[in-house]
Amino acid sequence: MEKVFCLGLLFGMVGGALIVANSYKARSLVKKSQSEIMERVDEKMDECLKQMEQKEGGKENGKKEKKSEK
């Protein structure tokens, strides 16, 4: 069962690669999809970095206040 699945996966990948290599429309569609995915990943990374900076900023402010109380 696993061998058949692996063979099907392999043939599907090879077939997809051949279709993309020989078809301009498919190739342009793949490039467009890749660029859209990269833009979304960049946006998510920016959001995560901003959230991390805000959390770290809050922690640093809390530490400074505790030190000033002493």
Asked if residues 30 and 20 have their Cβ atoms less than 8 Å apart, the reply is yes
Angle (CA) 40-19-10 rounded to 5° is: 85
pLDDT in tens, 14-58: 998 888 888 888 889 889 999 999 999 999 999 999 999 888 877
- Give the mean pLDDT of 55-65: 66
Query: Where residue 13 falls among pLDDT bands split at 50, 70, 90?
Result: very high
Checking if the pLDDT of 7 tops 90, the result is: yes
How far, in Å, CA of 27 to CA of 17, rounded? 10
Total domains present in the chain: 1
Domain span at residue 6? 2-69
Asked if residues 20 and 27 have their Cβ atoms less than 8 Å apart, the reply is yes
pTM over 0.85: no
- Residue type present at position 57: G
Phi first, then psi, for residue 23 (nearest 5°) are -125, 120
Checking if the pLDDT of 62 tops 90, the result is: no
